């Protein structure tokens, strides 16, 4: 790779690192092509960037970003996962690690400026994702309105039952 191409790769990677809410560095060994293709596809579906980059280029790109806190972990065969939502990439890497035990090992991460070790990453993976949190919030906000609607409808329903019972009694 010539110098111009390297500079371009570093600039693109720096921009992606700057915009990411989370960056995860995971060690991979012995993954076959089919598995890696599946992991990449699942990452793409969830809006997660999955990159295998040269460690020296990754260290250069990390300068001036939150990823700089974990740049010393770019050693050996590693993959970099970047995402806008901190929970989704953590869940994905935890799932991949379980499916490919011993072949994909999360090392370290940085989420919104906070450095996380493997245990912290596992705890983050157990949290609900942003869409799940939004659904919970909508449910909490909608619950009082639905209860109010049921309370307001109850007298009308009771009156209808009384009228129906009277109609049946008169018909008999």
Tell me the CATH number at 60.
3.30.70.1730
Domain count along the chain:
2
Question: Which stretch of 40-44, 109-113, 146-150 has the lowest confidence by average pLDDT?
Answer: 146-150
* Same domain for 111 and 28: yes
For residue 111, what are the β-bridge partners? 22, 114
d(CA 155, CA 158): 5
* Same domain for 133 and 123: no
Tell me which residue of 105, 82, 90 sits closest to 28, measured CA to CA: 105
| The pLDDT of residue 166 | 87
Structure tokens at 171: 């018909």
* Same domain for 86 and 32: yes
User: What's the domain range around 78?
Assistant: 3-127
Q: Is the pLDDT at 45 greater than 90, yes or no? A: yes
* Same domain for 82 and 46: yes
Helices (H) and strands (E) in the chain, counts: 6, 5
* Same domain for 31 and 53: yes
* Same domain for 79 and 141: no
| Per-residue pLDDT band at 23 (split at 50, 70, 90) | very high
Average pLDDT over residues 15-19: 91
């Amino acid at each position: 790779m010539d110098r111009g191409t390297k500079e371009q790769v570093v600039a693109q990677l720096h921009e992606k690192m700057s915009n990411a809410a989370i960056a995860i560095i995971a060690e991979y060994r012995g993954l076959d092509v089919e598995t890696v293709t599946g992991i990449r596809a699942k990452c793409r579906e969830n809006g997660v960037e999955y990159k295998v980059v040269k460690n020296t280029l990754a260290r250069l790109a990390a300068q001036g970003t939150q990823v700089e806190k974990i740049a010393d972990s770019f050693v050996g065969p590693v993959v970099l996962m970047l995402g806008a939502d901190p929970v989704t990439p953590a869940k994905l890497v935890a799932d991949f690690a379980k499916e490919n035990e011993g072949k994909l090992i999360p090392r370290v991460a940085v989420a919104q400026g906070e450095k996380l070790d493997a245990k912290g990453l596992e705890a983050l993976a157990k949290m609900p994702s942003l869409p799940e949190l939004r659904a919970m919030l909508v449910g909490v906000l909608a619950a009082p309105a639905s209860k109010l609607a049921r309370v307001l409808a109850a007298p009308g329903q009771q009156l209808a039952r009384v009228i129906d019972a009277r109609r049946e009694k008169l018909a008999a």
